[in-house]
Amino acid sequence: MISIKSKAEIELMRESNRIVAEVLEQLEKMIKPGISTWKLNKKAEEIIVENSAESGFKGYSTDGLTPYKFSICASINDEIVHGYSSKEKILRDGDIISIDVGVIKNNFYGDGARTFAVGTISEENRNLLRITELALIKAIEQCIINNRIGDISAVIEKTAKENGFYVADGLTGHGIGRELHELPIVYNFGKKGTGPRLFEGMTIAIEPMFNIGTSKVREKEWVFYTADNSCSAHFENTVLIQKDGPEILTKRGVT
Ligand code: MF3
Ligand code: CO
């Protein structure tokens, strides 16, 4: 079942996702060579608490794994998603780091991610970041009532292929609301004109994850890595489908 959000619920989704955007914006300022992912996680926790919210990730459990321990996923270079925070994980010049933030407030979830450059990065990595974000932008352009999930998936896959990158296997976006992961599954590959139709009041998290060298992944506990240790980027927005076009909820707003 795909849930439809009422006007009141949409307001709550806006608030949870605004907090996600605030965390991402604040953490971006801290991303420099020498900082640990532990500090980034701690700062995220402070902002979430200041906003009377809770982490959407900490304590989350799935498939027999021990509950996730962190409030953000901090995934460096060949880590695709769900990277751990640690005092020993210090950012170095030339790294790329995906920060993924989940928040729950008033029973509704927000979810968003960005990949940032640490200092000066290679041209290849710059291109990887640019193209992965472009795929997300193009995917959001497909978020029109009566389009289908496959329209979103197809444009993500096409953007990766056209630019010589690989969609990470087995990792997808998702519906979001009272649960972090709701239906529909938002695949990062697929065919136009297939899958569930988009309707007003639907909220989905779209999250392209592109790799430089291979689509194959390796898993260790929570963490997904590229199989060939090439770098990977991840951008995610929670998006509301409505009559006058998509609204990106993982935004700060005007105030
Ligand atoms: N944005 C990711 C997702 O939707 C992050 C989940 S992290 C977890 O799967 F810890 F909550 F699993
Ligand atoms: Co997500």
Per-residue pLDDT tens digits for 29-40 = 999 999 999 999
Q: What pTM value is reported for the model?
A: 0.98
Query: For residue 252, is pLDDT > 90?
Result: no
**Are β-strands 223-226 and 217-220 bridged in parallel, bridged antiparallel, or unpaired?**
antiparallel
Which tokens go with 243? 């009559």
Q: Which of 171, 165, 97, 168 is nearest to 131 (CA)?
A: 165
Domain coordinates of the chain in residue numbers? 7-248
Q: Which residue has the tokens 């998290």?
A: 205
| CA 242 – ligand 1 centroid, Å | 25
Report the alpha-carbon angle 210-191-183, nearest 5: 75
* Per-residue pLDDT reduced to its tens digit, 2-23: 999 999 999 999 999 999 999 9
Topology (CATH) of 7-248: Creatine Amidinohydrolase (3.90.230)
Proximal ligand: closest to the CA of 206 = 2
| CA 166 – ligand 1 centroid, Å | 20
| CA 120 – ligand 2 centroid, Å | 28
Is the beta carbon of 176 within 6 A of some atom in ligand 1?
Answer: no
Is the beta carbon of 235 within 6 A of some atom in ligand 1?
Answer: no
